[in-house]
Copies of this chain bind each other. A is one copy, B any other.
Amino acid sequence: MTDKDRIYELAEKIEQGLTSEQKQELIDLLKPYKDGSIGIAQINPIAGDIEYNSKKVVRFINYAQELNLDLVVFPELILMGYPIEDTIDRHPIIVEENVKWLKQIAKITKNTTALVGFVEPRKYDHLTGKKYYNSVAVLSNGKIQGIIRKSLLPTYSEFNDYRYIEPSPVVGSQSGETLGNFAEDNIGNCPKTNIISGKKYGISICEDCWNNKEFFNDTTLYSLDPIEELSKENPDVFINCSASPTRAKKEQLKHNMLSFIAKKYSTPIVYVNQVGAIDNSSFDGSSRVFDKNGELLARAESFKEQFMIVNPHKGLGKIYPLTKGLEKTLTESKVYTLEYEPDLERTYKTIIQGIRDYFKKTGFKRAVLGLSGGLDSTVCAVLLADALGKENVFGISMPSKITSKESKSDAEKLAQNLGINFTEAPIKEMYDTTNNCLQKLFGEIEKKWDGRYKQSFTSDNIQARSRAIFLWGISNEFGNCLPIATSDKSELYMGYATINGDMSGGFAPIADVPKTKLFALARWLNKNRPIKDAIPESVILKKPGAELAIDPKTGKPLIAEDALMPYEFLDEVIWRIENKKEHYFDMINSEFLYEKNNSVSKEQKAQWLDKFYRRMSTALYKWSILPPSVIVDSRSINKYDYRQPITSSHINYKGLSEAEIADIILKI
């Protein structure tokens, strides 16, 4: 084993605790790598829990100091956790708290410098702009030596920095005395870069490094490029403190962009990312270092806290693997495909972390879900077992008279394979009682109101809602237990989910996974989990259907694809809208993957698309009350990622020609 490998091995164990011999060994091994050495503190904060986050920061500073590193770097806003959203505005006490903690943390620093992100209040009298900066403090020798403030504030996707944060008018570092009173009238002439243990660092915060005009082909969100500004002082290293959640295809972009910057400026870049999930956003960590040639020198683990030691000047740094398959996506183009394989491990880990952190951070431990024998609840059960431990999951089979024998036995088999708790609770009695009561009630209402449907979903929904009453009842009766909403993305797009039924729960693990990907994920789980083939093959082979109604044509439970459209087609529509912002005629006029393999008439295609738009517009309300879920895809319908007024359901998705418009105007 080389010295370097031994360094990596020992560093990995630092959080579990090293013996004093091991610690001394590590200190000795690190001596040749001292100049320019950096500890990457990839940690998982809890939003707003300043004490919890600060204690972690202190522990990691202590490690770095003991090992005599030059520098230890934390993710963006680490004292607060990212994102904190409007909390800081309504409860300004937590901002005061994070400043108090920062000042006390500064006092314990010695010759190892720490870069610690925090929310910085701006002076309150006669203030122009927002009340806060998103800042990083440079701490050493008991003092706050400098402060870097974020200039570029993202407002897309789930980001909303600009809502409460003022963009810094200057790039780079200002003196520590400017804490809380920085304004344009006290911008110092100090250098933008920081000298730390003899090396020059150009420090930036997250979005500040995402605006290279050349890389983004002259199409950028901001006019300022902070990295370009920092480069003018020829720093030895760029540092970027980040909180960047994982999304499909983002790895490719991030890798190429960071590599490009390092190479362009012939300057290594150290990118330190938050790990862990905060509500709907799952941060993957995977902090990394590119050398001055743009080559990857080090990459931390994904979805895991880690203290990692690197030295970009001396080639010190281990490349931990990305989630399996993801490397393949680095050069992939933007085309719809059913080849989900390269993204499945990332998908799995993103959701696992999302579930685990949501439960942990809200104080829940156990989950209860309905096991229908269908794909959605099956995959959810596997994910929950892996995230929370099989003993903490209770699967309830809740058959109705429509539920097939196969479904019941599939559910039971799955539970056995997973080792989760299982019981059966038929809903027949509840359904009958509810239905009787409702039929009587409907009779009364009909005396006053017209418009009773000949065919309705009432019966279907009673079943779904009875099941939810069982699950929420268990959550009420047993401590620390959350019911799970099992809706998938394809069905949510179609509003094919019952309010207060399957779409209700404390958490929705697969709300951002389309059905075709869910099939692929099921197969992947069967192949890649320690216990193979936990999911019965029959679950994967059968056509999805909610088993809430009988198809009058077949006399068998209704198949979802018959009620909606083929999932392969549906999922490509979703993909095109989310990723390419295509509209109706874009889709009419181009060939779908599904059309390559199946014969689809023009009329049929138009009918499916019409159905899609009609159903999507009435699904907007359901999206607005969807429980917290993990954002996985490159785009989602999660309400913190996508917002559309529910009352905008009249959008004309086909548009009109100018001649048609002129004609309408003339007739007014």
Contacts and interface: CB of A to CB of B under 8 A. Distances in A.
Nearest to A625: B625
A306 B278 CA distance: 47
A458 B476 contact: yes
Interface stretch (A54-62, A285-293, A513-521): A54-62
A332 interface: no
A591 interface: no
Nearest to A581: B92
B461 A441 contact: no
A449 B421 contact: yes
Given A456-B476, A473-B461, A656-B51, A647 B437 contact: no
20 contacts: A48-B650, A49-B648, A49-B652, A84-B648, A87-B644, A90-B577, A96-B655, A104-B658, A130-B221, A278-B648, A362-B647, A366-B449, A421-B449, A425-B437, A434-B473, A438-B474, A441-B473, A453-B476, A458-B477, A469-B469
B421 A429 contact: no
Contacts of A465: 468-469, 472, 500
Pairs A-B, 4 closest by C-beta atoms: A451-B479, A48-B648, A361-B647, A126-B218
Copies assembled: 2
B473 A445 contact: no
Given A128-B222, A421-B448, A643 B433 contact: no
Interface stretch (A155-163, A241-249, A522-530): A155-163
A423 B444 CA distance: 7
A320 interface: no
Given A85-B645, A473-B462, A478-B451, A668 B104 contact: no
Contacts of A628: 621, 624, 646
Name which of A50, A163, A480 has the most chain B CB atoms within 10 A of its CB: A163
A93 B576 CA distance: 14
Contacts of A626: 625
Name which of A87, A648, A661 has the most chain B CB atoms within 10 A of its CB: A648
A348 interface: no
A69 B367 CA distance: 67
A453 B476 CA distance: 8
B478 A453 contact: yes
B473 A90 contact: no
A381 B651 CA distance: 31
B449 A58 contact: no
B93 A126 contact: no
Nearest to A425: B441
A251 to B, nearest CB: 23
Given A394-B445, A472-B499, A639 B639 contact: yes
Given A425-B444, A647-B357, A469 B91 contact: no
A430 interface: yes
Given A451-B479, A469-B500, A628-B624, A665 B108 contact: yes
A66 interface: no
A146 interface: no
A129 interface: yes
A331 interface: no
A429 B440 CA distance: 13
A385 B478 CA distance: 41
A434 B650 contact: no
Given A476-B456, A662-B107, A440 B462 contact: no
Contact of A457 (B59, B155, B476): B476
A449 B394 contact: yes
A647 B85 contact: no
Interface string A91-118: 1111011001101110110000000000
Contact of A451 (B93, B469, B480, B661): B480
Contact of A163 (B49, B55, B155, B361): B155
A650 B52 contact: yes
**Interface residues on chain A, size class:** 35 or more
A105 B662 CA distance: 8
A185 to B, nearest CB: 12
Nearest to A440: B425
Nearest to A422: B448
Given A155-B160, A628-B621, A648-B47, A477 B448 contact: no
B47 A647 contact: yes
Contacts of A46: 647-648, 650
A236 to B, nearest CB: 30
B478 A449 contact: yes
A556 interface: no
Interface string A249-278: 000000000000000000000000000011
Contacts of A84: 645, 648
Given A469-B434, A480-B451, A645 B474 contact: no
A461 B472 contact: yes
Given A499-B472, A639-B639, A645-B83, A49 B451 contact: no
Contact of A578 (B59, B90, B472): B90
Given A51-B652, A445-B478, A658-B104, A362 B429 contact: no
Contact of A58 (B87, B499, B665): B665
A649 interface: yes
Contacts of A472: 461, 465, 499-500
Given A155-B163, A160-B643, A461-B472, 7 more contacts: A91-B651, A128-B223, A160-B163, A425-B444, A430-B434, A441-B470, A445-B478
A643 B85 CA distance: 6
B433 A429 contact: yes
A336 interface: no
Nearest to A102: B661
A58 B586 CA distance: 30
A643 B646 contact: no
Interface string A592-631: 0000000000000000000000000000010011111000
A358 interface: yes
A41 to B, nearest CB: 14
A87 B473 CA distance: 38
A396 interface: yes
A219 interface: yes
